[in-house]
Amino acid sequence: MKKLIDNLDFKKVGILLGVFLLITALWGTPLVTPLKILVVLLHEISHGLAAIFTGGSIESIEVNMNQGGVCYTLGGSRFLTLTAGYLGSMLWGAIILVAASRTKVDRWLSIALGVFLIAIAAFYIRNVFGLVFAVGFGIAMVGAGWKLNHDWNELLLQVIGLTSCQYAILDILSDVIYRPGIGSDADMLAEISMIPGVVWGVIWIALAAVVSAIALVIAAQNDAKFASK
């Protein structure tokens, strides 16, 4: 980790910090709302993937304009499926951020993300708003990858990645820490684990903060120094 910190490119740090602060400044505005709904969708997809990876299946996914969502699953590990929501959306953000910052295939990454969202919509999303949103966002991502250059796609993906990491932490704070007992993933996990939901919230926030910080450090590496070693 020390080598990664020593190899930081402070220009990249400044750019990522600037993007982060811009997202924060616009957080309560309609400009960021589509990104928040995307993170909610990634949250629900993460529940579904956890169910599939543990022997279950996805029945359907819904997201709404109020930044709410639900994933109906059948079978699989309930513990891992419940855990995967908040942490999954954070991991999506970390992976997208690092991939956008450390590779030269950002246009293809945008297209891949767009195709993935359209596929999820076709196979699993069953409410009208969720279907329109996922297909619309997916088409927009494919269009961005097809028409915009590498730099614009890198910035777009970094914005998505940072928003996903940030929203995951804020969502846990809102749903689990500030409003315990509202029926969040942590509340349901508390029922099967006998560990209070707030405790799960603290654990998830700590994990999300650590992984997000590591992703930021990796994303801001100095390519020239890295290549010369």
The more confidently predicted of residues 81 and 224 is 81
Residue 224: the pLDDT is 57
Verdict on whether the full-model pTM lies above 0.85: yes
Task: Report whether pLDDT(227) > 80.
Answer: no
Residue 3: the pLDDT is 72
Percent of the chain, pLDDT > 70?
A: 96
Write the CB contacts of 15 (distance below 8 Å, at least 6 apart in sequence): none
Task: Report whether pLDDT(170) > 90.
Answer: no
Residue 226: the pLDDT is 44
Q: What is the mean pLDDT of the chain?
A: 90
Query: pLDDT digits over 39-53, tens only?
Result: 999 999 999 999 999
Cα–Cα distance for residue pair 184/84, rounded to 1 Å: 13
Task: Report whether pLDDT(8) > 90.
Answer: no
Query: pLDDT digits over 64-87, tens only?
Result: 999 999 999 999 999 999 999 999
Write the CB contacts of 116 (distance below 8 Å, at least 6 apart in sequence): 138
Task: Report whether pLDDT(55) > 90.
Answer: yes
Helix (H, G, I), strand (E, B) or coil at 148: coil
Cα–Cα distance for residue pair 10/70, rounded to 1 Å: 40
Cα–Cα distance for residue pair 16/160, rounded to 1 Å: 12
Query: pLDDT digits over 81-129, tens only?
Result: 999 999 999 999 999 999 999 999 999 999 999 999 999 999 999 999 9
Quote helix, strand, coil % in the chain, to nearest 5. 75, 5, 20
Give strand pairing partners of 8. 221
Residue 1: the pLDDT is 63
Cα–Cα distance for residue pair 75/219, rounded to 1 Å: 37
Residue 13: the pLDDT is 84
Write the CB contacts of 75 (distance below 8 Å, at least 6 apart in sequence): 51, 54, 55, 56, 57
The stretch 24-28 carries a mean pLDDT of: 86
DSSP, residue by residue, 161-176: HHHHHHHHHHHHIIII
Residue 153: the pLDDT is 96
The stretch 15-25 carries a mean pLDDT of: 87
